[in-house]
């Protein structure tokens, strides 16, 4: 195993009851990787993320953390779509610290500093006291990103964070991620349906359909997987209001 391996995923299979969701998955996550994990609905992307997080038990195989072990997670469904979600921006970011604090669930000065620093990093410092539900989709995603980063994770897993964003917000969001990846050497796994828009940000594609079908560069992915129904159905299209698509 090479020195800069962060996580080794060795031949894992995962089941829900009798249903096999992941079959004999094998790959390494290297420090500094920016991986995009792609695949059709139900192909096991979220299941793989949850297995890495220890939220879903694996049926066989082994996951080994070689370096570091803190994972930041931006889940697929958060409930924040609800406009009446009773928390402010700063409070949502602070919940990212709860796991770190064990039984001590009150927040001290140091925590408040960390939260402030994160909000600043993502350009949200003026919104700290706003209700999360009153923010735009793009702003909410940045708050969630701040929450997943407040513990300074070794690996950040984002499950379709951009699917509800327009193109401008999506590009902004991806630029922030790229910056974290290049400047802080943060390792990232980004789950998406929109593989074309991630090209230029991520450096590695994992293509999943219960089995791992592909692991490599974008160039190779587009060369070797051209007939994947996935690519055709998920190409982004620019449709102007008032025009028929």
Ligand X SMILES: Nc1ncnc2c1ncn2[C@@H]1O[C@H](COP(=O)(O)OP(=O)(O)OP(=O)(O)O)[C@@H](O)[C@H]1O
Interface residue list for Mg ion (CB under 5 A): 45-46, 76
- Shortest CB 234 distance to ligand X, Å: 10
Which one of ligand X, Mg ion, none is in contact with 42 (Cβ closer than 5 to 8 A by kind)?
A: ligand X
- Shortest CB 202 distance to Mg ion, Å: 17
Q: Which is nearer to ligand X, 6 or 37 (CB)?
A: 37
Q: Which is nearer to ligand X, 42 or 200 (CB)?
A: 42
Which chain residues interact with ligand X by CB under 6 A? 16, 19, 21, 39, 41-47, 76
Question: Are 124 and 142 a contacting pair, CB within 8 Å?
Answer: yes
Q: Which is nearer to Mg ion, 76 or 82 (CB)?
A: 76
Q: Which is nearer to ligand X, 25 or 29 (CB)?
A: 25
Helix axes 167-183, 137-149, angle to 10 degrees: 20
- Tell me the longest C-alpha to C-alpha distance in the chain: 56
> Of 146, 160, 79, which is closest to residue 115 (Cα–Cα)?
146
Q: Which is nearer to ligand X, 47 or 228 (CB)?
A: 47
- Shortest CB 195 distance to ligand X, Å: 12
Task: Please list, in sequence order, all residues whose beta carbon lies within 8 angstroms of the beta carbon of residue 16, skipping any fewer than 6 positions away.
Answer: none
- Shortest CB 208 distance to ligand X, Å: 7
Pairing label, strands 71-74, 60-65? unpaired
- Shortest CB 159 distance to Mg ion, Å: 6
Q: For the chain, give the number of residues.
A: 245
Question: Are 187 and 32 a contacting pair, CB within 8 Å?
Answer: yes
Q: Which is nearer to ligand X, 30 or 47 (CB)?
A: 47
DSSP labels, 140-161 = HHHHHHHHHHTT--SEEEEEST
Rounded distance between C-alpha atoms, residue 45 and residue 242, angstroms? 35
- Shortest CB 142 distance to Mg ion, Å: 21
């Amino acid at each position: 195993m090479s020195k800069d391996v962060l996580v080794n995923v060795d031949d894992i299979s995962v089941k829900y009851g009798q249903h096999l969701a992941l079959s004999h998955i094998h790959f390494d996550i290297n420090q500094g990787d920016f991986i995009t994990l792609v695949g059709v609905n139900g192909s096991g992307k979220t299941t793989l993320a949850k297995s890495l997080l220890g939220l879903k038990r694996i049926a066989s195989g082994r996951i080994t953390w070689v370096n570091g072990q803190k994972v930041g997670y931006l889940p697929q469904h958060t409930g924040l779509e609800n406009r009446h979600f009773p928390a402010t921006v700063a409070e949502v970011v602070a919940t990212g610290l709860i796991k770190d604090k064990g039984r001590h669930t009150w927040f001290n000065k140091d925590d408040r500093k960390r939260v402030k620093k994160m909000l600043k990093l993502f350009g949200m410092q003026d919104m700290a006291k706003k209700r999360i539900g009153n923010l735009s989709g793009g702003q909410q995603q940045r708050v969630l990103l701040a929450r997943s980063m407040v513990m300074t994770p070794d690996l950040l897993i984002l499950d379709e964070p951009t699917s509800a964003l327009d193109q401008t917000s999506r590009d902004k969001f991806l630029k922030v991620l790229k910056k974290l990846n290049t400047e802080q050497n943060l390792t990232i796994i980004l789950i998406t349906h929109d593989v074309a828009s991630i090209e230029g940000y991520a450096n590695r594609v994992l293509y999943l359909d219960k089995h791992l079908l592909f692991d490599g560069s974008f160039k190779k992915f587009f060369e070797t997987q051209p007939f994947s129904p996935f690519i055709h159905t998920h190409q982004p299209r620019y449709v102007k209001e008032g025009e028929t698509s």
